[in-house]
Structure 1
Amino acid sequence: MVLGKLKTLSRRTFLTISVVITICCYTIFAGLVLAQTNSSPRTLRVVMDNNYPPYVFQAADGSIQGILVDQWQLFGEKTGTRVEINAMNWGDALKKMQDGQFDVIDTIFKTEERTGWLDYTAPYARLEVPAFFNSEISGITNAYDLRGFAVAAKTGDAAVSILRSHGVGNLILFNSYEEIIRAAKDHKVNVFVIDKPPAMYFLYKFGMIEQYKASSPIYVGEFHRAVKKGDAFTLQEIEKGFAKISQAELIEIEKKWYGSRLWSGFPVGYILGGAGLLLFLLAGLSLWNRSLQKAVDTRTKALETSEERYRHLFNAESDAIVVIDLDKVQNVEANDAAIDLYGYSHEEFFALQPAELFADAEETFPQILSNNGHISIPLSYHRKKDGTIFPVEITARIFELENQKLLLAAMRDISDRLKSEENLRKNRRFLSDLIENSGALIFVKNRDGYYTLINRKWEEVTGLQRENVIGRTDEELFPGDIGKQFRRNDLDVIESGTVQEKEEILDGENGRRYFLSVKFPLKNDDDLVTGICGMTTEITERKQAEEDRERLSEQLAQAYRMESIGRLAGGIAHDFNNMLGVILGHTELVLHTSQLSGPHLNSIKEIEKAARRSSDLTRQLLAFARKQTVVPKVLDLNETVNGVLTILQRIIGEDIEFVWQPGESLWTIKMDPTQIDQILTNLCANARDAIESVGKITIDTRNISVDAAFCKDKVGCREGDFVVLSITDNGCGMHEDVKTMLFEPFYTTKELGKGTGLGLAMIYGIVQQNNGFITVDSKPGLGTSFKLYLPRYDVPHVPSSVEEERKELSLGSGTILLVEDEPANLEIACLMLKNLGYNVVTASSPAEAIQLARQYQEEIDLLMTDVIMPEMNGWDLAQELKAIQPDMKQLFTSGYTSTTVAQPSFFIENVHFIQKPFNMHELSVKVHEAMQK
């Protein structure tokens, strides 16, 4: 064996040297003992780190040595003080110093925390503290770059607090610098922060000097010596003692240790130490010294040869290393990692042929043997003793030593690496599949805006193919404002360096689409933004829903506003109607019973005219409020319109063309025909006023079925079958601001005195009352078209027979029970009935009417009652009285009916009703009809 020859020579040489050293040491020790017997010097207990080469470290025999050991020994010689040096784990050294077990602590950096319990000497050494990192890592230049890495440091070291203050939280703490370097050697850590001198020492010692790089100093520390807080005597003693050591002496000590690091771990230190001691014996040992020097030269040459072999052998100590004699084709050396890796004993391993380690020997081993120099095989397969085949990466080198051709091969088991690479490939495939099949649009662009990645969803939504997108910008793909907006949003993210949400739009064949994009910056190792990545989700449906909600909210607000105005208008109209009934009744009585003439008669007639005009006004208000009492009938709309064409022609005038276009097979509707008259009269009058000179007004009817799409954006619209009544003119038209106010009461664009603003409000109320809706199409200068959608009624229309001409009625007879809660209305109705010849019994409330009906001895022929009263409505009162007077007829009267009474079921056959206000002629007709039933 190669190493066997060296071991035999080493034993003989070491035996001779050991004898010489023993003699010298005994001589010196004897002198020291003799000197100590003459005095009792003060003992100074000094503690320091035991693993800080070259300042202090343990030798192979366990003794403490280094620069500081020599300095303290020289301190003791200069001062006569006995120095007791203790070197230990740094964390223990700090704790024991704090507990008072030592007088002085050395190798200490000054920190804020330590200043609270220590006093320091002036610094005596300036030490850089960089970050060391594996050469495969890049981008670490300062402490902040260490965030995110697992960083190794020594327990109790000043570096720990400094790293934490820079936000480095993932720290792995070790008891010594050597433990940290060993962990790095075993790939347990890749980044560590320790003082530069011991770092360089251990990196060189373990053959790792080429594998690690150092950053700029994270901080620069200074070595101090320190004593307990307040111990000024000891501090002064130390400073004075070290002041006695000259600079030349300090330099000589440092030179000794910095110059000897290549020999660490070898007997040369002992040889040189012995040689140093022999200088004191030069006079008597000069001849023997020349003999010893010759032996040292021979040993040094042997050690250099051995060092060269071991430097190659353990260059990658964590890997399996084998030395093969190429001439004999056999294994001659192997490290422990190789023995552990292959599972053989040393004897078994060296009995193997090198090719027996290879599972693919016929391919790999000839490849190694056929090369001279350095060989690198990234992947081969070896076999363990138990038959397990595993992948290895081989690095080999052929060299000659003492005329022997050797191959040094380093085999690294890459099973974990291959698994990691496979997992990485799987993760990349998974990530690629995730991106490609995501329901969101995913894209990547570089800093200049060029696409580098898009997924399938991006292609589907935009309609652009990947090969036409990659390498192009948004301005090229989406010309106009859309592409520019995309780029502006990207620049916001790049410039801010933060994640941002952007709402973006895209116009396509299917209209405008809305998207929510989450964009974030992509950064390199230097924290510079190199591009952006975005994930985009379509929110078109959400936007449309928001717009629909906003539109419905506006429609609902308008409906509430119209309903509120309607309730106000209806209440005012009802009360005003009652007062008008009193006025009209009294004026009519005066006209029928008094013999007036001249101015007085004219005045009464003018009062009557004004009251009737006011009555028309209240009817319009009640129609708008949908509280007008109506008597709906099944109608043919064409027939109803035909009946008022003559009147409409007079309203429109001869200068305007009037066109009537009735629809064919028109569906029937159920509606009060007088309301149709009101609608046509008002709309034709408005159309006439909208035409300045000559023009055209068209009325037409048709059937239509309304669906949900048609109802969109139309207030009050609902689905179903409708008959449409259209009134169209080619007049001046309307602006949008006028259209929004169109159906509000008292709003008019006509001059003062030419319009009340109730016409269209009344029409709106009538249509709503009949469960229909209105649309208006109007543009300035192009005219206006009103379309009234009236619901279809499935019962067929029966044409009305020609009514008999109304005859003059004679005075009536019989008893009428009159019920009215308004005193003025009660009084005037009673007077009118009495003038018509009837016997009248009055009641001001339903309760009073029931009591009178029970007490009245004779038969009551007719009940005439108001519909709306505080205690009981007229309909319920009629049912109560029916039980008392079974043959009593009924006549109802009201300005409007409440929601309950106004239901269509109220107006059943044979129920008679008279609208307030009424005149004597209307009253006589209605009473006669009711009593004749």
Structure 2
Amino acid sequence: MPAEGGGRVGLIARLVGSDGGGWRLLFEDSPMGIAIVDRAGRILLANRAAYALAGHVGAPPPPGTALAELFHPEDRAKLETETARACGGLGPRLGLELRLAERRGADGAALGCSVAMVAISPLAEDDGSICGAVVRMTDITRHRVIETQLAQNQKMQAVGQLAGGIAHDFNNLLTTIIAATDFCLARRPLDEATEADLLHIRRSAERGAALVRQLLAFSRRQTLQPRVLRLAEAIEDVASLLRRLLGHRVVLELDLDRPGPFVRVDPVQFDQVIVNLALNARDAMPQGGALAVRTATLTVYRPMVRGQEVIPPGRYAVVEVADNGIGIPPDVLPRLFEPFFTTKKDSGGTGLGLATVYGIVRQTGGFIAVDSKQGEGTTFRIYLPIASGEDAPAAPETPRPASVRHVSLPQPPEAAAGSAAGERGTVLLVEDEEGVRRLTVRALENAGWRVLVAPTGDIALQLLAREPEPPRVVVTDFVLPGMDGAEVVRAVRALHPRVPVILVSGYAESAAREGLPDADLRFLAKPFTFRQLLEAIERSLEAAG
């Protein structure tokens, strides 16, 4: 660089002109990006790390290039302003968080921006005049990604806990509504209008129960029935349904790894995941297009960041659902899996479809990530842990239920022929919800049972202590004030080890059963019909002999 004044050039000339010595080795080999700039912010010297941060893998830009050109266009003005302030004698500037220029792959595809923590320190001559600045850049991209993921995970966990709590309370209400409606329907004869109204109430309660299941799916507290199956076969099974749902304007393309890996999933819930993603893709292609479903395997050796997910090391089966639709705006992507967040309010969207997908995948032990570019399409990738094929059934035991199915109305419970209350023995019922408790007692007595009723676990144990004989079966809710259902089960087993227990809960079976023995323990999910409860009691007694 030509001299602009004796003192000013002296220090920079010595630094730039030095071709050896310890400082130059430290400068070049430093993992921190370092650049020496003049008062105008032009690069006089920069190390390899500085250029690597900005994605320069070939020859560096020529001397005299503005340092701001290595940064994102929206952050260049801030860098220039802070450099000018430092060179203007206002002291060093620390803690600047700036984006670097967007990196691109060999094919020109955008690879995203790195984020750097930037510090600017003025360079002063012996006479105190400032001749330039040293700019230090530390890559904090991974730290910011992890912070964002942690904040997102905490938010999703908090929302999930709220959704799970709401779902539990709603399940109690829905159990009461369904039971009371069943009792009303049993009061024959009914006039046509009354029966129609009651059926409408019951169907509405069932729709509410379906909504609660979606909330439980998001909060990862729903009841799953997982089994080991071939991933390719599972997708083939749902493909015919997808073709009907997508219509003639969307072409379904399958590219499945055969025979492919085994995964451990609930088949019905897995179908729901694929169907929900396919329906979202269909809506993103209003003029038609192509939907590709692909499978592959992936071995992760180090924690892998995909969107807002951090995928730990392991072997994964990957399901890719890709469309060539309108894409998703960047500001929408971070909120995509939040419950009740929807961009389809005008068309009746509830915001629970992708939230349900997220919850099912995470409860299954998997991860989900999404990539999208507006005008080009969206790709969802599901990462499921590969399971051993040793546990896979040799052949399907029963045909898999369809993902979209009609649920017939169960008939209300009827009293056993010739049975009076107490003839069949004693049931201990532990239930804190008054409406559920009252109607359950009524159904059990109609079926010939004597019922010991307790709103808490402590009262239940007091009733047991006064009984000369143990009850034939115990029915207890999982969520109770004081002692919870698990503690009630342990206390009952300590007194009567062989008494069958039916554990009732609006939460997932895995959560309710945690730490409890499987022997003589049956699970019944809320909301339930009393016919289902009576059938569960019969099966428990048969299993106990």
Give TM-score scaled by structure 1 length.
0.45
- Counterpart among 527, 540, 544 of residue 917 in structure 1: 527
Distance in structure 2 (CA, Å) of the matches to 1:642 and 1:828: 44
Q: 1:724 to 1:520 in 2, by over 3 A?
A: closer
User: 2:325 pairs with 731, 737, 756, which one?
Assistant: 731
Query: Which residue number in structure 2 is paired with residue 884 of structure 1?
Result: 495
Report the equivalent of 1:597.
Answer: 191
Pairing partner for 1:828 from 439, 451, 459: 439
The residue aligned with 2:214 is 620
Indicate whether 1:766 and 2:360 are aligned.
yes
1:868 aligns to what?
A: 479
The one-letter amino acid of 2:459's match is E
Secondary structure in structure 2 of the residue aligned to 1:743 = coil
State whether residues 734 and 784 of structure 1, in contact with CA within 8 Å, keep that contact through their aligned partners in structure 2.
Answer: yes
Give the corresponding residue for 1:582.
Answer: 176
Identify the residue that residue 477 of structure 1 maps to in structure 2: 63
Q: Which residue of 2 aligns with 1:551?
A: 145
Alpha carbons of structure 1 residues 657 and 889: separation in structure 2 relative to 1, 3 Å: same
Whether the 8 Å CA contact 1:493–1:519 is kept in 2: the answer is no
The amino acid that maps onto 2:442 is: L
Change (3 A) 1:479 1:630: same
Q: Which structure is richer in relative contact order (CA contacts within 8 A, separation 6 or more)?
A: 2
**Cα offsets for 1:43-62 (capped at 9, x unmatched):** xxxxxxxxxxxxxxxxxxxx
CA separation of 1:445/1:773 partners in 2, compared to 1, >3 Å: closer, same or farther? closer
Q: Distance in 1 between matches of 2:478 and 2:99?
A: 60
Distance 1:782 1:864, change over 3 A: same
Give the superposition deviation at 1:619: 1.0
Contact 2:339 2:352 in 1 (8 A): yes
Partner of 2:294: 700
Question: In the alignment, which residue of structure 2 is the partner of 1:403?
Answer: none
Deviation for aligned residue 1:814: 5.0
Contact 1:499 1:520 (8 Å CA) reproduced: no
Q: CA-atom RMSD, angstroms?
A: 4.5
Matches within 5 A, 1:341-360: none
> Conserved in 1, the CA contact under 8 Å of 2:83 and 2:120?
no
Q: Note the alpha carbon deviations across 1:317-336, whole angstroms, 9 max, x for none.
A: xxxxxxxxxxxxxxxxxxxx
Shift of 1:557: 1.8
Question: Is residue 845 of structure 1 aligned with residue 456 of structure 2?
Answer: yes
Provide the rounded CA distance (Å) in 2 between the counterparts of 1:443 and 1:924. 77
Superposed displacement of residue 866, structure 1: 0.8
CA contact (8 A) 1:821 1:844 kept: yes
In structure 1, how many angstroms separate the alpha carbons of the residues matched to 2:235 and 2:104?
46
Specify every segment of 5 or more residues in structure 1 that has no aligned partner in the other structure, as ranges: 1-430, 464-473
Taking the aligned partners of 2:49 and 2:483, their CA distance within structure 1 comes to 67
SS at match of 2:309: coil
Q: 1:673 to 1:922 in 2, by over 3 A?
A: farther
Instruction: For 1:653-692, list aligned pairs within 5 A.
Output: 653-692=247-286
Q: How does 1:439-838 map to 2 (within 5 A)?
A: 439-440=26-27, 477-479=63-65, 518-522=121-125, 532=131, 536=134, 539-540=136-137, 543-545=138-140, 547-708=141-302, 710-711=304-305, 714-752=308-346, 754-794=348-388, 796-799=390-393, 801-803=396-398, 814-838=425-449
Q: For 1:722 and 1:606, how far apart are their aligned partners in 2?
A: 45
Shift of 1:775: 0.6
Structure 1 distance, partners of 2:147, 2:377, is 30
> Are 1:912 and 1:926, in contact at CA under 8 Å, matched by a contact in 2?
yes
| 1:929 alignment partner in structure 2 | 539
Equivalent position of 1:239 in the other structure: none
Greater radius of gyration (CA): 1
Following the alignment from structure 1 to structure 2, what is the Cα–Cα distance between the partners of residues 447 and 647? Answer: 67
Query: Structure 2: 5+ residue runs without aligned partners?
Result: 1-17, 29-33, 52-59, 71-75, 106-112, 402-410, 417-423
Aligned residue type for 1:793: A
Give me the whole-angstrom Cα distance separating, in 2, the residues matched to 1:550 and 1:672: 35
Structure 1 SS opposite 2:332: helix
Query: How far did 1:618 drift?
Result: 0.9
Supply the AA of the counterpart residue of 1:664.
Answer: R
- Percentage of pairs with the same residue: 29
Q: C-alpha displacement at 1:921, in angstroms?
A: 4.0
2:457/2:483 contact within 8 Å kept: yes
* Per-residue deviation, 1:745: 1.2
Report how far residue 599 of structure 1 moved.
0.7
- For the structure 1 residues 740 and 437, does the alpha-carbon distance in structure 2 shift closer, same or farther, using more than 3 Å as the test? closer
Give the conservation status (yes or no) of the 8 Å contact 1:726–1:787.
yes
Any conservation in 1 of the 2:223–2:509 contact (CA below 8 Å)? no
Q: Return the alpha-carbon distance in structure 2 between the equivalents of residues 737 and 865 of structure 1.
A: 46
Contact 2:86/2:120 (8 A) holds in 1: no
Comparing 680-689 and 506-515, the one that deviates more = 506-515
Deviation per residue, 1:130-187 (Å, 9 max, x gap) = xxxxxxxxxxxxxxxxxxxxxxxxxxxxxxxxxxxxxxxxxxxxxxxxxxxxxxxxxx
Shift of 1:483: 8.8
Residues 368, 381 of structure 2: 8 Å contact kept: yes
Say if 1:751 and 1:863 are closer, same or farther in 2 by CA, change over 3 A: same
Letter of the 1:606 counterpart = H
Question: What is the TM-score of this pair, normalised by structure 2?
Answer: 0.73
How do residues 224-373 of structure 1 correspond to structure 2 at under 5 angstroms?
none
User: What is the rounded CA distance, in whole Å, between the counterparts of 1:716 and 1:450 in structure 2?
Assistant: 39
Amino acid at match of 2:123: F
Contact 1:634–1:670 (CA<8 Å) still a contact in 2? yes
Q: 1:654 and 1:849, CA in 2 relative to 1: closer, same or farther beyond 3 A?
A: farther
What's the CA shift for 1:915? 0.9
- CA shift in 2, pair 1:907/1:703, >3 Å: farther
